C-alpha cells in the first residue's frame, strides 16, 4: 500500500487521508485478519513516531483522519469532539434526487445496542445526475451529490440516516441498495462506499487558532466525479 497522504502537521497533531477500506486501528476482530494494516500503524511507521487516535472513520469511509502526537494532545482534541465543537463536512453520493436541503433528527441505537441516542444530520444537495441505464423497474437511474453535516457522532450515523430518508449511499453494503451498488461496479468499476470525510475544522487546543483541513486528492473519487460531471464540487468542497 502506498504511503498515506499527509494533509496537515504541527507539533501536536497530524492529519492523513485515510483511503476507503482501511481500518483506523486494530480491534479484536480485525486483528485476526492476516496481513491487515491500519491507519494508525501506517502513520506511525511513516513518520517514525507514535501517534494516538482522536476520532474514527468507518472502514469503507475515506477522508480526513487526525491523530495526536501524544496522549495528552489527543485527549484535548477528543474533548472538542465530545463537546461538538468540531466542524465536520462529508461528501456522499446517494440514490435518487434528495431534497435541496434538510435535517434528519432520528435516534439511533448506541453501540451496545441497548438504548437509542439522539442523532442529527444536516445535508445540502450540491448536484444531481440522471443516467440512461435501467436499474430495477425504472428506465433511468437518478443520483444526488450531497454535502453532509453530522451534528452528532453516532456509529454509522450518516449511512443509517441516508437509508432512513430513502436515499441510501451508493456502495453501502450494509445499509444501501444492492442493485445500484452493482450498477456502479459494472458501469464505473466503482467498488467502494461513496462517502468521504471531506473537511474537518477545529480550534487548535494549544495555539487557539482555527484549523481547517481538506481531504485533498482522492484519485478514485476524482475519476468517478469526472464521469458524472461533478469534478468542480470535489475541488470546491475539499479546499
- Which element (helix H / strand E) includes 177? none
Distance CA(218)–CA(209), nearest Å, equals 27
* Dihedral of the alpha carbons of 104, 109, 115, 119, in degrees to the nearest 10: -30
pLDDT in tens, 22-49: 999 876 445 555 567 899 999 999 999 9
Per-residue cell: 145: 451529490
Q: Supply the residues annotated as catalytic.
A: 58
> Which of these, 192, 172, 184, 150, lies nearest to 22 by C-alpha position?
192
Per-residue cell: 192: 467502494
Q: Output the pTM of the full model.
A: 0.92
Distance CA(162)–CA(143), nearest Å, equals 13
The runs of H, that is alpha helices, within 145-194 are 157-164, 178-188
All structural domains of the chain with their residue ranges: 5-237
For residue 87, what are the β-bridge partners?
201
Per-residue cell: 48: 517514525
> Which of these, 213, 200, 204, lies nearest to 79 by C-alpha position?
204
CATH classification for the domain delimited by 5-237, as one of 3.40.50.300, 2.40.440.10, 3.40.50.1220, 3.30.2350.10 = 3.30.2350.10
pLDDT at position 28: 47
Per-residue cell: 181: 451498488
What's the DSSP call for residue 135?
B
Per-residue cell: 53: 487516535
Distance CA(50)–CA(70), nearest Å, equals 8
Q: Are 200 and 88 in contact, with CB atoms under 8 Å apart?
A: yes
Q: Are 195 and 61 in contact, with CB atoms under 8 Å apart?
A: yes
Distance CA(180)–CA(168), nearest Å, equals 10
pLDDT in tens, 139-165: 999 999 999 999 998 999 999 999 999
pLDDT in tens, the chain (239 residues): 789 999 999 999 999 999 999 999 876 445 555 567 899 999 999 999 999 999 999 999 999 999 999 999 999 999 999 999 999 999 999 999 999 999 999 999 876 567 889 999 999 999 999 999 999 888 999 999 999 999 998 999 999 999 999 999 999 999 999 999 999 999 999 999 999 999 999 999 999 999 999 998 789 999 999 999 999 887 666 54
Amino acid at each position: 500500500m502506498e504511503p498515506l497522504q499527509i494533509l496537515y502537521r504541527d507539533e501536536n497533531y497530524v492529519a492523513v487521508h485515510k483511503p476507503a477500506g482501511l481500518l483506523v486501528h486494530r480491534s479484536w476482530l480485525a486483528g485476526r485478519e492476516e496481513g491487515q494494516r491500519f491507519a494508525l500503524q501506517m502513520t506511525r511507521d511513516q513518520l517514525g513516531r507514535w501517534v494516538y487516535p482522536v476520532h474514527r472513520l468507518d472502514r469503507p469511509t475515506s477522508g480526513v483522519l487526525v491523530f495526536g502526537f501524544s496522549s495528552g494532545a489527543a485527549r484535548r482534541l477528543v474533548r472538542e469532539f465530545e463537546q461538538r465543537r468540531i466542524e465536520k463536512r462529508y461528501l456522499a453520493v446517494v440514490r435518487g434526487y434528495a431534497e435541496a436541503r434538510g435535517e434528519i433528527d432520528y435516534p439511533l441505537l448506541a453501540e451496545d445496542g441497548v438504548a437509542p441516542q439522539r442523532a442529527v444530520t444536516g445535508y445540502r444537495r450540491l448536484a444531481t445526475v440522471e443516467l440512461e441505464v435501467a436499474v430495477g423497474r425504472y428506465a433511468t437511474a437518478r443520483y444526488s451529490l450531497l454535502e453532509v453535516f453530522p451534528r452528532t457522532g453516532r456509529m454509522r450515523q450518516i449511512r443509517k440516516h441516508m437509508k432512513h430518508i430513502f436515499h441510501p449511499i451508493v456502495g453501502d453494503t450494509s445499509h444501501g441498495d444492492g442493485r445500484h451498488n452493482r450498477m456502479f461496479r459494472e458501469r464505473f468499476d466503482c467498488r467502494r462506499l461513496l462517502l468521504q470525510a471531506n473537511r474537518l475544522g477545529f480550534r487548535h487546543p494549544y495555539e487557539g487558532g482555527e484549523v481547517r483541513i481538506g481531504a485533498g486528492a482522492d484519485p478514485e473519487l476524482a475519476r468517478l466525479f469526472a464521469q458524472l460531471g461533478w469534478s468542480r464540487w470535489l475541488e470546491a468542497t475539499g479546499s
